[in-house]
Homo-oligomer: A and B are copies of this chain.
Amino acid sequence: MLYLVGLGLADETDITIKGLEVVKRAERVYLEAYTSILLVDKEKLEAFYGRSVIVADRELVEIGSDEILQGANDADIAFLVVGDPFGATTHIDLVLRARELGINIKTIPNASIMSAIGCAGLQLYNFGQTVSMVFFTETWKPSSYYDRIKENVSIGLHTLVLLDIKVKEQSLENLLKGRKIYEPPRYMTVAQCAAQMLNTEDERNEGVYGPDSLAIGAARVGAPDQKLVAGTLKELTEVDMGHPLHSLILLGKRTHELEKDFIREFAVDGATFDASWSKWYQTTS
């Protein structure tokens, strides 16, 4: 049996009782470690589980999936995924490969940022499609996300923006020379995301949002030091949300007065918040 086990969002105690039972009895335990991270390291997980964990990087999952699945017809293999196993990243290739090999699959769900973001106080019913923001470079500033946000904005919906992480990436030079030397990990901040969004709006100039559009920055959702900040995109370009992981919500117009009360509590500046709110956001009460 292949078990896909969600770990939740913050630390080693966010695994479910059901998930922990699987981890304790599985033959081998893999930790998917390239699409998201917990806020604790592998050693802490191993101490908590009382057993060793094999880190599965992108190469292993995408090319070495048969290695992961080896023996799973007879024994239990646990594949641990930060968040929910079918949350932001679906490991559908791995599952399809397991199916081909006649391996049974079970999923143990857990919190995903895509639902836990509800902690910001906005109804999940009013979120449109989620988008991803990658790190821009001098020459590569993909803006397809902007089209998705435009669709959401046009029908009044909020957009959850998931921010890029770069783990175990090689520099172009090292990649070309075949040297397995990896850059230090990078995690996009709310401030970087807000700046990139404004950069794209400047380029595309379709008025989907602007410097005084309201957004919420979220950091370390589910952790004891979870932090939420509401403000204009311009304000958020200067906000320091602390350690990763960060996410951002661009506010849609379909909001409720109660939601306004809720998010105003963590506004960078109540006055700019109110000004932007009355200018751009209708409320139904």
Give A contacts to B, CB under 8 Å.
Answer: 6, 8-9, 11-18, 20-21, 83-88, 90, 92-93, 95-96, 99, 106-112, 114-116, 118-119, 121, 123-132, 151, 155, 157, 221-222, 224, 258-259, 261-262, 265
Contact = CB atoms under 8 A, between A and B. Distances in A.
A147 to B, nearest CB: 10
Contacts of A106: 224
Given A11-B18, A111-B112, A127-B129, 14 more contacts: A6-B111, A13-B16, A13-B21, A86-B115, A86-B121, A86-B124, A96-B262, A110-B111, A111-B115, A112-B115, A114-B114, A115-B115, A124-B130, A127-B130
B14 A259 contact: no
A11 B284 CA distance: 37
Given A14-B18, A17-B14, A124 B88 contact: yes
A87 B124 contact: yes
Nearest to A252: B129
Given A222-B107, A265-B99, A16 B21 contact: no
A202 to B, nearest CB: 24
A125 B132 contact: yes
Nearest to A18: B13
Nearest to A117: B86
A109 B111 contact: yes
A267 to B, nearest CB: 14
Nearest to A258: B92
A184 B200 CA distance: 55
A175 to B, nearest CB: 26
A9 B109 contact: yes
A263 to B, nearest CB: 10
Nearest to A83: B115
A271 to B, nearest CB: 21
